[in-house]
Amino acid sequence: MRATFTLPAVSGGTDYAVTIASSDGHQTAVSAVLDTLIDTQHGGAYRGQINGGNARGVSPGQTFSYGFNVPRGERDLDVSLKLATDPADIVDLVLLDPNGELADVGSNITFNAAGDLVSGLTAQLFDAHPIAGRWRLVVVVQNPVSGREISQAFSGAVKFNGLQTSASGLPRSASRVLKAGRAVTATVVVHNTGVQSIVVGTDPRLNRIQTLQPVPIQGSTSFDLPGDPNDEPVYIIPPDTSKLTIAAASDVPAQVEMQGSSAGFDVFGDLQSAKAGDTVSVATVQEQTGEISKGIWFSSIDEIGPYTDAGAPSGHTTISASMRTAAFDPAVTSSTDDPFRIAVDPTSDGFGTPELIPPGGTAAIRVTITPRGRTGSVVSGHLNIVTPPALPTGNGGLPFETTGATVATLPYEYTIG
């Protein structure tokens, strides 16, 4: 038996049901999902039409899913969206990399010149050094839709290597000698070639992988059971992170859970071990190529039954977390601060003073390097240009917040004199 279908003219998934009947009258249906890829070699255009929402809280009003391929060696991935007429429809853009990780979450909500969050007709994502392979773009229309029209069209494009950055004064070679303790300044210029204002800061990292302990931005690392969600720790995970582990040591059998940004990966500790009475539970997410999802990661602890009518017994648990990531470089500061420093530094506000760059606009970021360390040692690192994590997106539906993204990376290297 062979079934033939016509691929949809508009990129995105279309679901067909193939009904198969036997000679005795029995029938069954087999689903066939057809997916036309966005053609990134010929403009990368995609489009769709918003036809309304639904009455389900938290759930999206509509979703549109698109696939596209990223070749090796692209400097940055650029995804844009434009609504036809009505900015009151809140639309999120979600990028999933070939590992299934959330690479970026953005929205048509952004900052205006006064620093207020407002909704507009456009949305824009930039992602530096995308890994090669099949990516997915999901357009999420949040409830409630505006109701000012019966439907609204949107269109966009997936392109590469559009964002423009440059740096002057940034050391690029071990032959450049910088005196220990003497500040050297550089200027990084970012030109926004997209359709929406972007907010950027700097995230200086060394080309050295470390195992670091993220600090909770909310909750505690030690609390009583049964757990209160307000007590359970929440973390911000920065770029360049390949592995995250969360472990719980409890005095009753319990299972740890960790959930990625915007309800992405949901990973649990071993259930059978917890059922067998184990009081230590460990959950891990790791990628061999690329990085895990940036932004907020939630943790929670569930005691393991069965219980009596009195419910779950009282207990206590202690949470520990570790991540494999590029070391933060304390010798580098900037006029924007580092929005991801909050991952390891509880004194950070998680935002800093980032630059707001309108479409077609340019911003200059002042970077200061004050070398520290042994004379003669070579320092090699990279300056991530990033968007802040955990900005609000839609109207209370998933995804709740942005992930933050690395929009460009600038290498630096010098010898301490």
Q: Read off the pLDDT of residues 32-77 as tens digits, 9 standing for 90 and up.
A: 877 779 999 999 999 999 998 887 877 888 999 999 999 999 999 9
- State percent of the chain over pLDDT 90: 77
Rg, C-alpha atoms of the chain: 24
Average of pLDDT values for 96-124? 92
Higher pLDDT, 8 or 118: 118
Separation CA 256–CA 245 (nearest Å): 11
Judge whether residue 127 has pLDDT over 90: yes
- pLDDT tens for 7-35 read 776 767 777 888 888 888 788 888 887 77
pLDDT of residue 11: 67
Within a 10 A sphere around the Cβ of 7, how many other Cβ atoms?
Answer: 11
> Do the Cβ atoms of 384 and 327 come closer than 8 Å?
no
Question: How long, in residues, is the chain?
Answer: 417
Separation CA 52–CA 86 (nearest Å): 13
- In CATH terms, 39-160 corresponds, of 2.70.150.10, 2.60.120.380, 3.40.1440.60, 1.10.1370.30, to 2.60.120.380
pLDDT of residue 19: 86
Q: What is the mean pLDDT of the chain?
A: 92
Model confidence at 88, pLDDT cuts 50, 70, 90, reads very high
For residue 87, the 8-state DSSP code is T
Separation CA 383–CA 408 (nearest Å): 8
Judge whether residue 277 has pLDDT over 90: yes
Judge whether residue 395 has pLDDT over 70: no
Domain 164-211+327-416 has CATH 3.40.630.30: no
Separation CA 154–CA 50 (nearest Å): 8
User: Could you tell me which residues are beta bridge partners of residue 223?
Assistant: 317
pLDDT of residue 103: 93
Judge whether residue 168 has pLDDT over 90: yes
DSSP 3-state of 188: strand
> Do the Cβ atoms of 392 and 355 come closer than 8 Å?
no
Q: Is 268 exposed, middle or buried (0-12, 13-18, 19+ CB in 10 A)?
A: middle
Judge whether residue 305 has pLDDT over 90: no
User: Could you tell me which residues are beta bridge partners of residue 184?
Assistant: 369
pLDDT of residue 327: 98
Q: By mean pLDDT, which of 90-104, 140-154, 314-328, 386-400 is the weakest? A: 386-400
Q: Where are the beta strands (DSSP E) in 144-216?
A: 152-160, 164-168, 172-178, 184-191, 198-212
Separation CA 30–CA 14 (nearest Å): 14
User: H or E element: which one contains 274?
Assistant: helix 271-275
Average of pLDDT values for 214-225? 96
> Domain coordinates of the chain in residue numbers?
1-36, 39-160, 164-211+327-416, 226-315
